[in-house]
Amino acid sequence: MYAQEAFVIHINAGWNSSNDWYGLKSITGARVFGGDIEKKPGIKEKYNITKVPTLILFRDGEEIERWEGGLDMKLNVSVSEVQESIDRK
């Protein structure tokens, strides 16, 4: 990752892929990466994942904001909410 760059990591599990966050292709101004805790279990510890899906916004290599799935195993956050966080400089 590059300094002063915003990036978003979307982490889910293969068995919950039907609940991938719908807004990944709609956000702008941040690079988007994905991870599957079934295929790469190490990311669970690396990013302290306790719920799936989880969306994490980083800037300058530091976590800025995190959104986690609810009891319904869905990420209940709007594209505009995530975009506002990305746009804050």
pLDDT at site 4: 67
Please check whether residue 1 lies inside any domain of the structure: no
Q: Is the pTM of this model over 0.85?
A: yes
Residue with tokens 């986690």: 68
Give the three-class secondary structure for 55: strand
Residue with tokens 């306790």: 50
Helices vs strands, H then E, count in the chain: 2, 4
Q: Is the pLDDT of residue 15 over 90?
A: yes
Please check whether residue 64 lies inside any domain of the structure: yes
29-76: pLDDT as tens digits: 999 999 999 999 999 999 999 999 999 999 988 999 999 999 999 999
Mean pLDDT computed over 71-86: 96
- Residue 26 maps to which CATH number? 3.40.30.10
- AA letter at 24: L
pLDDT at site 2: 47
Mean pLDDT computed over 16-22: 96
**Domain membership of residue 83 as a residue range:** 6-87
Q: Is the pLDDT of residue 1 over 50?
A: no
Number of domains in the chain: 1
- AA letter at 80: S
Burial state string for 37-69 with b = 16 or more CB within 10 A and e = fewer than 16: beeeeebbeebebeebbbbbbbbeeeeebebbb
